[in-house]
Amino acid sequence: MRFPSTGGDGAVGGLGAADDIGWTPIMEEAQRATSVLHPEALQLPRPERRRIMTVANQKGGVGKTTSTVNLAAGLALHGLTVLVIDLDPQGNASTALGVEHRAGTPSVYEVLLGEMSVVDAAGQSTQSPNLWCVPATIDLAGSEIELVTMVAREGRLKEALNSPAMDELAPDYVLIDCPPSLGLLTVNAMVAAHEVLIPIQCEYYALEGLGQLLRNIELVQAHLNPSLWVSTVLLTMYDGRTKLADQVTAEVRGHFGDLALRTVIPRSVKISEAPGFGQTVLTYDPGSRGSMSYLDAAREIAERGAERKTA
């Protein structure tokens, strides 16, 4: 995928015009890295209406939180306003985005209980001025028990996201990071969302339980949110050295068809290291394969939204 040139004559970092010397993989990587370091060179299309996407998979370790924060960063770095809702009590998305989530911090817990608006609980990420996150604190761990007794317990997050207060932040995208389970928190996310993004690890066990996830999505569609649909499948932790990765990729593409993004996220040490520094991989190592892959995936998601808008 070729990004627009950052220079008026098509030159990239002094390499000269691509038409003069021929396009090479090194030139393409250099230009893609430049688009991360200088995001003004690429503006992604803005959706016609706010896109609310739930990132869900009940299996842990498939790259769910990693994909949420890096896709959010990729969208935000290129001109879009993005809000991440951290619904996982572990708070890993909050950590990666550099948002405070110690006990007592305004969080999604207060939002679900109706004690605080989304805008009041949101903190600005250190990654981009366009990127915000409603953090998860340890209080969220017991929230499912509290939600059981509440009226309209499955729609608490939807109510909060539909509040007029959201116009103050006016995000183009809302990405909801779910816990690795199919409890009330995940149901709240699916009721609030328009779309589901499913990250799938390129390993055999990652396919187990996928059928149950799809059945649960169908139940939410039937009883709580008829407009919900699986819009995106993202293959993660791809290792091209193994035949298994190719087999899983082929099986997923065969089942989901065009819903599966063309971009595949590679297994990468840099992606794993970034959260430890309170960063996404796009800021931790902009030129890495992992960073480029998430940037490509973010662009693909944004362009797909634009295609649906014009269809």
Q: Is the pLDDT of residue 39 over 60?
A: no
Domain boundaries, the chain: 1-37, 48-310
- Report the pLDDT value the prediction gives residue 232, as an integer from 0 to 100: 96
Lowest mean pLDDT among 12-26, 68-82, 137-151, 292-306: 12-26
Binning pLDDT at 50, 70 and 90, where does residue 210 land?
Answer: confident
* 67/69 Cα distance (integer angstroms): 6
Beta partners for 236? 201
Binning pLDDT at 50, 70 and 90, where does residue 4 land?
Answer: very low
Beta strands 82-86; 131-134: pairing state: parallel
- Report the pLDDT value the prediction gives residue 29, as an integer from 0 to 100: 56
Single pTM value for the model: 0.85
Give pLDDT tens digits for 67-116: 999 999 999 998 899 999 999 999 999 999 999 998 889 999 999 999 99
- Report the pLDDT value the prediction gives residue 18, as an integer from 0 to 100: 41
Q: Is the pLDDT of residue 38 over 60?
A: no
CATH 3.90.25.10 applies to domain 48-310:
no
- Report the pLDDT value the prediction gives residue 182, as an integer from 0 to 100: 80
- Segment holding 226, helix H or strand E: none
Tell me what the mean pLDDT of segment 213-219 comes to. 92
Give the mean pLDDT of the chain: 85
User: Using an 8 Å Cβ cutoff, are 30 and 13 in contact?
Assistant: yes
- Report the pLDDT value the prediction gives residue 11, as an integer from 0 to 100: 38
Residue 126 corresponds to which amino acid? T
Q: How far is C-alpha 59 from the chain's CA centre?
A: 17
* 114/34 Cα distance (integer angstroms): 43
Binning pLDDT at 50, 70 and 90, where does residue 22 land?
Answer: low
Sign of CA dihedral 129, 271, 307, 159: negative
- Report the pLDDT value the prediction gives residue 199, as an integer from 0 to 100: 94
- Report the pLDDT value the prediction gives residue 16, as an integer from 0 to 100: 40
The label of the residue with tokens 């035949």 reads 243
Q: Is the pLDDT of residue 307 over 70?
A: no
Binning pLDDT at 50, 70 and 90, where does residue 60 land?
Answer: confident
* 130/252 Cα distance (integer angstroms): 33
- Report the pLDDT value the prediction gives residue 173, as an integer from 0 to 100: 97
H helical segments located in the chain: 18-21, 25-37, 64-76, 92-96, 108-112, 118-121, 143-148, 156-161, 166-169, 184-192, 210-223, 243-256, 269-273, 281-284, 289-310
